[in-house]
């Protein structure tokens, strides 16, 4: 049930470069799909003649699809090969983008978004490919660069969508045709530049575990995404959360019983992996709180509210959000070097410090253009360093045959954090509104709502600091110092043992090599 893999990646320097390029492009396109519809929800609502509550499913459907398919596809890639799985998922993303672009009704558009959401599995698969193909001393930088494209792609989608839908007679479908083009280019790049899979575990797919995990995640993320519409104390919201708790317990029981579980529970609760997933929730929350908070803030009509910048969607994206996205990309190689020389714990601690400073700055001063942009640059670097650190922690803590599913769960943790960020920002701004507005003016958020939003963002990154310095105590050895992967991997190899150091966390791979 296993295939042979060289002790060290065989790709040369040039091959490593093109592999990283192809995977970075694919990861960037995935992140674009998540934020692409945010600026055009109003256009979609008007064009399709639906309601605000219904059109919100355009974003919710992608999140739920990602929750269901990412763990399953990550595990499928471990078992049957990363490249074939990558190519298939990219193909699904192309089809989903075409369906969304051609849709003439909301159900068809939602179907396209569901197909696009399945592509979230590309990121953990890409990290698994890097682990096989990139030399250990280059791996931290490669993972950081691919991770850095996530925040950049999210910002790029906002800007590109704003450009394509600005002016009179704007057609939201242009944004989905753009997505189709990017997805097709990424598909071609992966087919042409990523080598065939050399490392497979084989084995059976745990469909029951995938089903129970998918239902649990659906019941968790659905009320988080729709709670502001349903009401946080409504029966649907509370019932969904209760159902999520029950299904999580069922999923754990299933995974403990089956011989080849989708997620090895020992790996799932292994301290470094657990801490990386908690950090993923918090960093994902911070990234989305920054995107939404700043986007709403700068579009506020100053003459009516007394704050804001009267920015259009295009100006909000280009002037206020794009700089931070660019910094996220530029900071990713720096994050990789920090991981390599100082370890992921240091990178995560620096991310926490920068994030807390950036959000603190926004909370104290969001009335000047310089402050909003400057704080956004700092938060962008924080997100980049955080995204560089988390995969490094996971790769140092799990054996080869679990890298896809482990990174898949981490991707879901970031998506969950983003969903929580969206829900909290929306709820805060909807609950704190300006009184005594002129007749005919719709409800607008009070400035105190933005201050609270940014303060919560600072607290979130403060919790990341706690995770980095306490939860990951001892995780200080650079990833590049680890021995190369073993020469063979069995499908039933035990997960990393609970160890205080990154070197000990990688020990299962050495045991794996002698199995």
- C-alpha dihedral sign at 45, 49, 53, 54: negative
In a domain, 8, yes or no: no
Query: Are 27 and 44 within one domain?
Result: yes
What tens digit of pLDDT does each residue of 263-304 get? 888 888 888 999 999 999 999 999 989 988 998 899 899 999
Q: Is residue 5 part of a domain?
A: no
Do 486 and 427 share a domain, yes or no? yes
230 lies in the same domain as 370: no
Q: Of the candidates 421, 422, 399, 403, which has an alpha carbon nearest to the alpha carbon of residue 411?
A: 403
> Are residues 356 and 244 part of one domain?
no
Q: What band does 199 get if pLDDT is binned at 50, 70 and 90?
A: low
Q: Is a pLDDT exceeding 80 seen at residue 9? A: no
What CATH number is given to the structural domain containing 476?
Answer: 1.20.1250.20
The tally of CA atoms less than 13 A away on the side-chain side of residue 80 is: 12
Q: What is the pLDDT of residue 200?
A: 66
Residue pLDDT, tens place only, 361-373: 999 999 999 999 9
The per-residue pLDDT for 201 is 63
Does one domain contain both 154 and 218?
Answer: no
Q: Is the domain of 281 the same as that of 269? A: yes
Percentage of the chain surpassing pLDDT 90?
43
Average pLDDT, the chain: 84
Q: How many domains is the chain built from?
A: 2
219, 244 Cβ separation under 8 angstroms: yes
List the one residue out of 357, 335, 348 whose CA is nearest residue 290: 357
Does 289 lie in the same domain as 242?
A: no
One domain for residues 220 and 346: no
pTM score, two decimals? 0.82
Are residues 371 and 400 part of one domain? yes
88 domain-assigned: yes
Residue 1 lies in a domain: no
> How confident is the model at residue 264, as a pLDDT?
82
Cβ(329)–Cβ(384) under 8 Å? yes
Q: How far is it, in rounded angstroms, from Cα 18 to Cα 380?
A: 26
* Residue 313 token pair: 């969607």
More confident residue, 302 or 166: 302
- Considering the domain boundaries, does residue 4 fall inside one? no
pLDDT tens-digit map of 185-194 = 999 999 999 9
Domain edge (last residue) among 261, 281, 307: 261
Question: Do 167 and 122 fall into the same domain?
Answer: yes
Q: Based on the domain organization, do 234 and 316 belong to the same domain?
A: no
pLDDT score recorded for residue 513 = 35
Alpha-carbon torsion angle 147, 149, 150, 152, nearest 10: 140
Report yes or no on 3 lying in a domain.
no
Where in the sequence is the domain holding 219, given as residue range(s)? 206-261
pLDDT tier at 355, thresholds 50, 70, 90: very high
For residue 2, being part of any structural domain is answered with no
What's the pLDDT at 190? 95
Looking at the structure, do residues 253 and 377 belong to the same domain, yes or no? no
pLDDT at 502: 38
Specify the pLDDT at position 4: 43
Instruction: Look at residue 201 and tell me if it is in a domain.
Output: no
The dihedral built from the CA positions of residue 237, 239, 242 and 244, taken in this order, carries a sign that is: negative
pLDDT of residue 483: 40
């Amino acid at each position: 049930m296993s295939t042979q893999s060289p002790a060290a990646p065989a790709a040369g320097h040039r091959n490593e470069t093109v592999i990283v390029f192809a995977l970075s492009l694919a990861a960037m396109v995935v992140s674009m799909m998540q934020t692409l519809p945010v600026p055009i929800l109003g256009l979609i609502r008007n064009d399709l003649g639906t309601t605000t509550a219904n059109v919100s499913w355009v974003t919710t459907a992608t999140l739920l699809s990602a929750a269901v398919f990412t763990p399953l596809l990550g595990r499928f890639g471990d078992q049957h090969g990363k490249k074939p799985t990558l190519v298939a998922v990219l193909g699904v993303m192309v089809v989903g983008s075409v369906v969304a672009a051609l849709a003439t009704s909301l159900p068809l558009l939602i179907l396209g978004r569901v197909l696009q959401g399945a592509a979230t599995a590309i990121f953990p698969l890409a990290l698994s490919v890097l682990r096989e193909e990139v030399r250990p001393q280059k791996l931290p930088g490669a993972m950081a660069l691919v991770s850095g494209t996530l925040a950049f792609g999210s910002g790029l989608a906002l800007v590109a969508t704003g450009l394509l839908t600005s002016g009179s007679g704007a057609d939201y479908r242009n944004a989905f045709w753009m997505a189709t083009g990017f997805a097709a280019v990424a598909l071609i790049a992966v087919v042409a530049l990523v080598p065939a899979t050399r490392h497979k575990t084989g084995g059976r797919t745990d469909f029951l575990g995938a089903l129970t995990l998918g239902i649990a995640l659906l019941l968790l993320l659905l009320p988080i995404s729709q709670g502001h519409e349903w009401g946080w104390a409504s029966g649907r919201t509370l019932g969904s959360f209760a159902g999520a708790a029950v299904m999580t317990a069922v999923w754990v029981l299933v995974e403990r019983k089956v011989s080849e579980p989708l997620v090895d529970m020992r790996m799932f609760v292994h301290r470094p992996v657990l801490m990386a997933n908690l950090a993923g929730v918090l960093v994902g929350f911070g990234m989305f709180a920054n995107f939404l908070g700043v986007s709403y803030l700068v579009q506020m009509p100053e003459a009516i509210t007394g704050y804001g910048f009267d920015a259009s969607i295009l100006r909000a994206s280009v002037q206020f959000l794009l700089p931070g996205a660019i910094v996220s990309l530029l900071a990713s190689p720096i994050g990789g070097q920090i991981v390599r020389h100082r370890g992921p714990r240091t990178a995560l601690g620096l991310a926490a410090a920068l994030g807390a400073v950036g959000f603190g700055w926004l909370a104290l001063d969001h009335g000047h253009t310089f402050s909003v942009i400057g704080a956004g640059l700092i938060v962008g670097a924080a997100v980049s360093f955080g995204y560089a650190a988390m995969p490094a922690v996971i790769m140092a803590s799990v054996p080869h045959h679990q890298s896809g599913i482990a990174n898949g769960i981490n991707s879901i943790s970031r998506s969950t954090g983003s969903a929580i960020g969206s829900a909290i920002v929306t709820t805060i701004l909807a609950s704190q509104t300006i009184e005594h507005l002129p007749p005919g003016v719709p409800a607008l958020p009070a400035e105190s709502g933005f201050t609270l939003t940014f303060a919560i963002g600072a607290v979130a990154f403060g919790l990341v600091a706690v995770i980095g310095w306490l939860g990951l105590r001892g995780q200080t050895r650079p990833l590049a110092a680890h021995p190369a992967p073993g020469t063979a991997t069995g499908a039933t190899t035990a997960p990393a043992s609970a160890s205080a150091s990154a070197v000990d966390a990688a020990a299962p791979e050495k045991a794996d090599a002698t199995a």
